[in-house]
Amino acid sequence: MTASLLGVYRQLRGLINENERDSLTGLLNRKTFDEAFVRAAMAMDGPCGLLGPDAERRDAPIAARHWLAVVDIDHFKRVNDQHGHLIGDEVLLLVAQLMRHNFRHGDRIYRFGGEEFVVMLRCPDAQAAEGAFERLRRRIAKHDFPRVGQLTVSIGFTRVAPDDTPGAAFERADQAVYHAKQTGRNRTVDHACLAPSETPETAPLGELEFF
């Protein structure tokens, strides 16, 4: 099953725009993030977009803010060490698939490299955003990954402000992920709920190695 699944995705690589898509998962890649982020920061108002087939529908045409989340697979190195990189790649493919089903058609999902993903979506408030990210966390925790079994993710998210930069927003979400990891993993953390002492310094976005 693993070799067959990976074979199908590798055949599809030729149809993927390498400048915009991650070659393994088909998700958007790091190169497209900055431009999309700037557009989002400049357009803070508008109705929520259409939802994916398995996401909770929000039909009310209310004003929406943009939110950015970092999603990190817990103990992913252990998967590669115990089962090999072929199984690790299958896990990444399945996580990407679960993310597509969880979020709306208009939400943007990126693979930043390794086991780290970024999501940018529109929701009216922090409660709605946390609900969307919590649904993903629960969905992944319940999924039975072939040969691996159960896996979890830690999620940190932040509201995108009109004057934000991609690096600043990413850093806040990354700090929230760090807090989730330090407090037990398999959690969703809003950066706005962290005390100053709980926000460690992280490297600016341009200094991070994603691939």
Q: Is 115 an annotated catalytic residue?
A: yes
Candidates 155, 134, 132, 118; CA nearest to 22 is: 118
The pairing of beta strand 188-190 with beta strand 28-29: unpaired
* 116-123, strands of its sheet edge to edge: 28-29, 108-113, 116-123, 65-73, 153-159, 188-190
CA distance 128 to 113: 27
What are the b/e assignments for 119-135, b being 16+ CB within 10 Å? bbbbbeebebbbebbeb
CA distance 96 to 125: 25
Q: Encoding tokens for residue 75?
A: 């103990």
Selected catalytic residue, list 18, 35, 115, 201: 115
Q: Mind telling me the catalytic residues?
A: 115
